[in-house]
Structure 1
Amino acid sequence: MSKGSRIAFFGSSLVSAYWNGAATYYRGIIRALHERGHHVTFYEPDAYERQQHRDMADPDWARVVVYSARGTEALERCLEEARDADVVVKASGVGVFDALLEARVLELRRSGNQVVFWDVDAPATLERMEKDPSDPFRALVPRYDHILTYGGGEPVVSAYRALGARECVPIYNALDPHTHHPVAADARFEGDLAFLGNRLPDREARVEAFFLKAASLLPGSRFLLGGSGWGDRALPENVKYLGHVYTQDHNALNCSARAVLNINRDSMARFGFSPATRVFEAAGAGACIITDAFKGVELFLEPGKEILVAHSGEEVAAHVRALSGPESRRIGQAALQRVLSEHTYAHRASKVEEVLGLPSTGTRERVA
């Protein structure tokens, strides 16, 4: 039986989903890698009040090291410790010291290890470099052994290759059945349509178009809005604002509303092939999902059978108006079966092993 690899992972946060949409992705991938025999140390900064809004204790499937964001001394100690790892990962969007980390992790390369850039928001990273030819990360892209992304498909792969990437492979979002699964309905989250997402500049216009427009067209229906930053936003009277919804309540929300809405950010909608973590969370709970249209949706869930697709707020409203309870449950169950068979983080971890050539001591599952 082969020995698993030691992986040093520099990311935004594993233990807090507060203003950190990548948390579910990190948790799913890293837990699955642990179950396959690998040993992950996750280095995260004490920033953005995430440590004050933790939604989990340090897990037994990863070692978590929190370093101070005040000065670089603590970070330098983490980098020195990571020097002995078999794989060193710099994730995008850490939020502090990103430019420093992008360069410094490359200095940890030695004979027998690999240095990986894992882009959890490839559309934003690529658009940033396109707008700024002097972006220092441009020169670093060819030096990484691998570029992994959590979405984007061929458009993202081609863009990274054009920048000189040695290899670029999407490792898509997925379901972690340990954390997202069907539960009993909760009266707090009963409604006709629920949307969960933080208020971000490149998402707000699409939330207005797909969610708030639909609410205005269905004044007799109950809409639920969860996420940070919406408190001072004028909302239709039939929209209940929930505030930040902690991850331990996501299953209840997904199992209580008649349908759950997914809205992609502008950049992800343009690149396509980027289903959000919310899609798999909701599918794992057996929710009926309505999504704004994006290229490649059919690679993950079958439109009309496992997910409903809308091109406008009017189409969202039409779906909600036509959706009966039995039809909602049928679509939700079909989505659940699809993601369990093809789109779990065990499938994604197997793909990571294949790409990086890592030995596994766990049970391999078919890759989606």
Structure 2
Amino acid sequence: MKIAFYGSSLLSAYWNGAATYYRGLLRSLAERGYQITFYEPDIYERQQNRDIDPPAWCDVVVYEGTIPALKDVAVEAALADIVIKASGVGFEDDLLLEQVMTAARPAALKIFWDVDAPATLAELKGLPEHPLRKALADLDLVLTYGGGDPVVQAYRAMGAVECIPIYNALDPQTHHPVAPDCRFKADLGFLGNRLPDREARVEAFFLDSAAGLNNRSFLLGGSGWHDKPMAPNVHYIGHVSTRDHNAFNVTPKAVLNISRESMAQNGFSPATRVFEAAGAGACLITDYWEGIDRFLKPDEEVLVARDGGDVRDILTDLTDEHAAAIGRRALQRVLAEHTYQHRAVEVDRLFRSHFGSKEAAE
């Protein structure tokens, strides 16, 4: 079956946290026989900051960030059996949704794939005339990158026929244990872009912890933090290419996951960083969110902090041996239950069952 996937970017993770999710899941679907074309706009300097070449398992069409170019690629949805519009493409999202779903054949499976469901739902709340909300009833399926029952119920209440979370996972071909790299040596590392609904949490969990632990070293990676005040024991290194993520994760004694505010409040939304770190065998400390134990077991496979004070306490007591044991157990768990191969089996089953339902209804 042919998939036309309209997303933010497959080739670049620059200001694009969904990149590794797209890559892992779509490659695993390609291995199951799907023919995929990914359409991404040339915006936000992503094409100048590519971190992978166009892959053999997916055709990538890069189009100009103009309305005529958008319309040109939208008509190609008519060639696909499955038409997917992702959230957060970043250029004329509402128009893109309308254009690709109009172009899709009646027999095609029409899907909206939300990679930031809590934020999307907050935007839709109280706006019954929002283009996405009006389109939901005509879509076959809403898939989300997480969110659990709260997101499923909210989407159904807004008119979605069906909503199913497809969680982040590990791509073992990309994220795996490597040798430590002295560039990333620290007691605690955090990797994440500076975003409005994450910044206050980064201050509380990471920067304030650094200020309170002068005898520990902290490493900060990600875009946008260059003018952020921080303690002298925080080393800021800017954007970190995905090719360096494994070394970034395994070199510090521990790495920190800090969820965006909306995802932390909603729960059941493990970030890609959770599985990247676990896949590299890193000792992961995560902020608390409901549903953590569905993915990793607290205190055995992941360490959980409810605030910056917890982060400081964990770091103060954490030995190299304990950190290594946490990382080993996390790696074993995600390889056994949470790879993109596991997710692709689930998605393949969904696609085929929905095709069967459409054929039976005709």
TM range (shorter): over 0.9
Match of 2:166 among 167, 171, 174: 171
- Residue in 2 that maps onto 1:365: none
Q: Once the 2 structures are TM-superposed, how far is the Cα of residue 131 of structure 1 from its aligned partner?
A: 5.1
Residues 8 and 85 of structure 1 are in contact (CA less than 8 Å); yes or no, is this contact kept in structure 2? Answer: yes
Match of 2:23 among 20, 23, 27: 27
Match of 2:67 among 72, 79, 98: 72
| Distance in 1 separating the partners of 2:71 and 2:159 | 28
Letter of the structure 2 residue corresponding to residue 57 of structure 1: D
- Residue in 2 that maps onto 1:59: 55
Q: Once the 2 structures are TM-superposed, how far is the Cα of residue 63 of structure 1 from its aligned partner?
A: 0.3
Give the structure-1-normalised TM-score: 0.95
- Residue in 1 that maps onto 2:32: 36
Aligned residues: 354
Counterparts of residues 276-355 of structure 1 (less than 5 Å): 276-355=271-350
| Distance in 2 separating the partners of 1:58 and 1:136 | 32
Gaps of 5+ in 2: 355-362
Task: Say which SS state the counterpart of residue 42 (structure 1) adopts.
Answer: strand
Letter of the structure 2 residue corresponding to residue 281 of structure 1: E
Residues 105 and 115 of structure 1 are in contact (CA less than 8 Å); yes or no, is this contact kept in structure 2? Answer: no
Give the structure-2-normalised TM-score: 0.96
Task: Say which SS state the counterpart of residue 202 (structure 2) adopts.
Answer: helix
| Distance in 2 separating the partners of 1:80 and 1:327 | 55
**Match status 1:46 vs 2:39:** no
Letter of the structure 2 residue corresponding to residue 143 of structure 1: D
1:148-177 Cα distance to aligned partner (Å, 9 max, x none): 000000000000000111110000000000
More deviation, 232-241/103-112: 103-112
Letter of the structure 2 residue corresponding to residue 109 of structure 1: A
- Residue in 2 that maps onto 1:364: none
Q: Once the 2 structures are TM-superposed, how far is the Cα of residue 19 of structure 1 from its aligned partner?
A: 0.2
**Match status 1:128 vs 2:123:** yes
Match of 1:99 among 94, 97, 103: 94
Q: Once the 2 structures are TM-superposed, how far is the Cα of residue 8 of structure 1 from its aligned partner?
A: 0.3
Gaps of 5+ in 1: 360-368
Residues 291 and 310 of structure 1 are in contact (CA less than 8 Å); yes or no, is this contact kept in structure 2? Answer: yes
Residues 11 and 44 of structure 1 are in contact (CA less than 8 Å); yes or no, is this contact kept in structure 2? Answer: yes
More deviation, 162-171/74-83: 74-83
Letter of the structure 2 residue corresponding to residue 8 of structure 1: A
RMSD: 1.1
Task: Say which SS state the counterpart of residue 60 (structure 2) adopts.
Answer: strand
- Residue in 1 that maps onto 2:357: none
Q: Once the 2 structures are TM-superposed, how far is the Cα of residue 29 of structure 1 from its aligned partner?
A: 0.5
Letter of the structure 2 residue corresponding to residue 45 of structure 1: P
| Distance in 2 separating the partners of 1:358 and 1:33 | 16
| Distance in 2 separating the partners of 1:235 and 1:216 | 8
1:298-343 Cα distance to aligned partner (Å, 9 max, x none): 0000000000000010001111111100100100010000000000
Closer, same or farther in 2 for the Cα pair 1:130/1:177, shift >3 Å? same
Letter of the structure 1 residue corresponding to residue 194 of structure 2: R
- Residue in 2 that maps onto 1:161: 156
Residues 194 and 260 of structure 1 are in contact (CA less than 8 Å); yes or no, is this contact kept in structure 2? Answer: yes
| Distance in 1 separating the partners of 2:160 and 2:131 | 15
1:236-274 Cα distance to aligned partner (Å, 9 max, x none): 110000100000000001010100000000100111000
Q: Once the 2 structures are TM-superposed, how far is the Cα of residue 358 of structure 1 from its aligned partner?
A: 6.9
Match of 2:12 among 16, 20, 28: 16
Q: Once the 2 structures are TM-superposed, how far is the Cα of residue 141 of structure 1 from its aligned partner?
A: 1.3
| Distance in 1 separating the partners of 2:353 and 2:123 | 32
- Report sequence identity in percent: 59
